Amino acid sequence: MQIYCDEKATYYLKKIITMNRFLVLALICTILSGCAATRTQHKKNKLVSLVSSLNRNAFACRLPIRAKLKYIRIYEKLGVDPKSDPTYKQLSDNTIIIDSDIQLGLDWYGEMQYCLSNDIQRMGRIDPELAIIRINGLKQITELVDNIVSSPQTYGAINQRVQVFRESQGASFRSWFKSLDLRLQAMERQELLETRRKFLADVGQIAISFVELTLSTVVALSEAQANIARSQEIYAASHPTYISNPIITTNCNWLGGYLTCQSF
């Protein structure tokens, strides 16, 4: 009888220990999941904060240019003010852009380029996908300015393209934010499966495909800038009174895990 009781007690003791092991494992899994979710939210907050800081820096860079009296005409005729979309009056203006405004626009673009190239570098250090969106946007702007210099355009037609460009950029950035959530969720799962191995651009390894795509996109931008520089030379040759603000070319390299850009 005593032996039976001892065996029974041992059985229940083992069962309790086994149950406790499951409870401990469940508790550990819960803690790990919670920690991973907390880290994921922290990383998301960090990235969003970096983007907000980038936007403030971008606005600060553009503000002195916006404040120059010589460029009042540009902001009156073209919807390039970052704070507002093109107005109905700007969109419906069917007059051809005059030479003095083309010259003024080239100077404005020449000054603005330094801010634009800084955007690329800052975005590349947050996330290559973000940089690619911006580079493609800058290429569109460069091609738009080149069109103005190379052939007659109306203010309204250019403003309509500016409007389309803004909508496209807005959609791309919204898509990036949505993608960010998915990538962070994937990272959270990856952390649990592979001992919290990091792989998001800002906090770990960067996929070589992203690096190659970013740099190839910069090359396309540089080619567009070279085209507008040639158009500017042709324009200046036929307008002797025009003093050019040189068009610069953007070149980027991936050094030490960071995107570094120079404009010259």
pLDDT digits (tens, 9 = 90+) for 8-25: 445 444 444 444 544 444
> Has residue 215 been placed in a domain?
yes
Q: Which helix (H) or strand (E) holds 226?
A: helix 208-238
> Has residue 40 been placed in a domain?
no
> Has residue 15 been placed in a domain?
no
Q: Which of 83, 100, 59, 257 minimizes the C-alpha distance to 166? A: 83
Q: Name the H helices within 194-207.
A: none
Confidence (pLDDT) at 144: 92
Q: In which domain, by residue range, is 226 found?
A: 53-263
Residue 121: pLDDT above 90?
no
Q: What is the mean pLDDT of residues 60-74?
A: 92
> Has residue 178 been placed in a domain?
yes
Categorize the per-residue pLDDT at 28 as very low, low, confident or very high, splitting at 50, 70 and 90: very low
Categorize the per-residue pLDDT at 255 as very low, low, confident or very high, splitting at 50, 70 and 90: low
DSSP conformational letter for 149:
H
> Has residue 11 been placed in a domain?
no
Confidence (pLDDT) at 211: 61
Confidence (pLDDT) at 98: 95
What is the per-residue pLDDT across 85-110, written as a single tens digit (0 to 9) for each?
A: 999 999 999 999 999 999 999 989 88
CA 225-227-164 angle, to 5 degrees, is 65
> Has residue 110 been placed in a domain?
yes
Confidence (pLDDT) at 135: 86
Spatial separation of the C-alpha atoms in residues 159 and 263, rounded to whole Å: 27
Confidence (pLDDT) at 12: 46
Query: What is the model's pTM?
Result: 0.72
Determine contact, residues 82/57, Cβ cutoff 8 Å. no
Percent of the chain with pLDDT over 90: 24
Domain count of the fold of the chain: 1
Confidence (pLDDT) at 57: 86
Categorize the per-residue pLDDT at 191 as very low, low, confident or very high, splitting at 50, 70 and 90: low
- Choice between 135 and 10, residue whose per-residue pLDDT is larger: 135
Q: What is the mean pLDDT of residues 48-53?
A: 81
For the beta carbon of residue 162, count every other beta carbon within 10 angstroms.
20
Helix axes 155-193 and 2-66, enclosed angle (nearest 10): 160
- Choice between 123 and 145, residue whose per-residue pLDDT is larger: 145
Confidence (pLDDT) at 153: 95
